[in-house]
Structure 1
C-alpha cells in the first residue's frame, strides 16, 4: 500500500477533526466509516471504551492533538491489518480530487463487465436499457452532499468524468435532481443507479430522460454498507 495514500488520508482526517465545531462527533464519523467498534479503538489506544465514548459524545472536553493523532493512527493501523480496504477506497476518491463525503467510492475495473452481472451483484432492478451493455467502473455519489458541497464546475467535472461506468446516487427520494443534472453533461454514463428507493417511487419522467440520453436506469434498495461492500468485490 502506497505510503503517500496513507499519509494523505491521515492528513485529511486530522484536518477534519481539528477544524470541526464538534471534534468528538467528527472522530465518531471517521471511526464508523472505518467500521471500527469503540471497544476495538479503545484497545488500540490502551484506554477504556468509556474514554472513547466520552470524547465522541462531548462528555469530555474536546480531544487534544495527542488523542486525535493516536486515534487516526489507530484507525489506519487497524484497517491496514484488515487488508486496507478503507484506505484504498479513500485514496481513490482523494486522488480524483473529490471530497470523500461526496464520492463514497470510485473505481476502475481491470476489464469491462456485463451490465447484467453488475445488476446482479448489487440487487438492482433495471427500468430502462440504454445503448451500452457493459461498464468499466463505478462512481458512488451522495446526492445531498454533492448539492451541498460541489461548485458548478466540480459538479460538471464529477458527472462528466463518469462515462463508460455506472453512476450510483445515494440519498435520493425520487431521483429527479441527479437525472436533471445529467441532462447538461455530455457524454453520459453507461448506467445510472438510484439507491435506496423502489421502482414505484422513481420520478415519473426518469425513464424518459434515460431513453433520450441513452443510458440504462436501475434502482436498488439494499443497505448502503452492503452495497458498498458488494462494489468492493467487483470484479
Structure 2
C-alpha cells in the first residue's frame, strides 16, 4: 500500500492511544483488531510479553509517546508481513465521508465493550447470537438512503475503521434489504441491530442469514432520538 496511507493510519492509531483515558485498553483494542498475539507484538518490540500485558492492563504507567509509536509501527509491520489485510481495510475508510441523511452516527470506541452492555444501553433484544461478543464502534444507517445511494464499495466503508462494530439499520420494515445487502459485503460486522421492529416483525429468513455469516442479530424499539443519544454516550 502507499506509504502515505500507512502513515495516516499510524498517526490515527497513535493519536487515539495517546489521547485515550485508558491508553492500555486502546492499545489492546488495536492489537486484537489486528489479530496479533501479545507474544508476537512483544517479540517485534524486543520486550517480554509481560511488559505488553502490563501496559495493556494498566499495571504499568501509561506508555509514553515513544512506546506508543513503536507499538503502532510494530503492529503495522507485522500486518504488512502477513499480507497487509488489516491495514488496507482500515486505511480504505480514513478519508471516507457520508451524507448525514445516510449515516446518522459513526464512531469508534477507545476500547471494546461487551455486546451485552451495548444491548442494555439501547434496549435491544437479541434474536441470534454471533461468534463475537464484543464491539469497538457503531454505525447507524438509514437503510433506504444507503441502498438507494451507496455503491457496494461505499457500503463496505460504512464499517468505519473496523468491522468489530454494530451496524444499526433504521427506516426498516422487516429488515430484508439490509440483510440481503450484507450477504455481498465481506467481512461482516460483529452485530446488526434493526431499529423500530418488534422481534416478531423481522423477516423470517433474517435469523438464518445472520447464523450463516456469524453475526449477532437484534432489534430495538427505542425512539430514534433517544437511541442516537444513547449511542453518543457510549462506551
1:107 aligned to 2:107? Answer: yes
**Structure-2 residue corresponding to 1:191:** 191
CA displacement, residues 170-191 of structure 1 (integer Å, 9 cap, x when unaligned): 0000000000110111110000
Point out the more displaced range, 98-107 or 150-159.
Answer: 150-159
With over 3 angstroms needed to count, the CA separation of the structure-2 counterparts of 1:104 and 1:168, relative to structure 1, is same
Cα distance in structure 2, aligned partners of 1:94 and 1:222: 31
**Structure-2 residue corresponding to 1:219:** 219
**Structure-2 residue corresponding to 1:169:** 169
The answer for unaligned runs of 5 or more in structure 1 is 1-92
Q: CA deviation at 1:98?
A: 1.2
| Structure-1-length-normalised TM-score | 0.58
Cα distance in structure 1, aligned partners of 2:95 and 2:227: 22
Q: Is the 8 A contact 1:124 1:220 kept in 2?
A: yes
**Structure-2 residue corresponding to 1:74:** none
Larger Rg: 1
| Structure-2-length-normalised TM-score | 0.58
Q: Is the 8 A contact 1:160 1:187 kept in 2?
A: no
Cα distance in structure 2, aligned partners of 1:94 and 1:162: 11
CA displacement, residues 65-90 of structure 1 (integer Å, 9 cap, x when unaligned): xxxxxxxxxxxxxxxxxxxxxxxxxx
SS of 2:158's equivalent in the other structure is helix
**Structure-1 residue corresponding to 2:203:** 203
Report 1:65-144 matches (<5 A): 96-144=96-144
RMSD: 1.9
CA displacement, residues 92-111 of structure 1 (integer Å, 9 cap, x when unaligned): x9963111110000000010
CA displacement, residues 139-167 of structure 1 (integer Å, 9 cap, x when unaligned): 00000111222233322333586510000
Q: Is the 8 A contact 1:94 1:100 kept in 2?
A: no
SS of 2:104's equivalent in the other structure is strand
Report 1:39-78 matches (<5 A): none
Cα distance in structure 2, aligned partners of 1:138 and 1:110: 12
1:156 aligned to 2:123? Answer: no
Runs of 4+ that moved beyond 4 A: 159-162
**Structure-1 residue corresponding to 2:145:** 145
Cα distance in structure 1, aligned partners of 2:182 and 2:130: 15
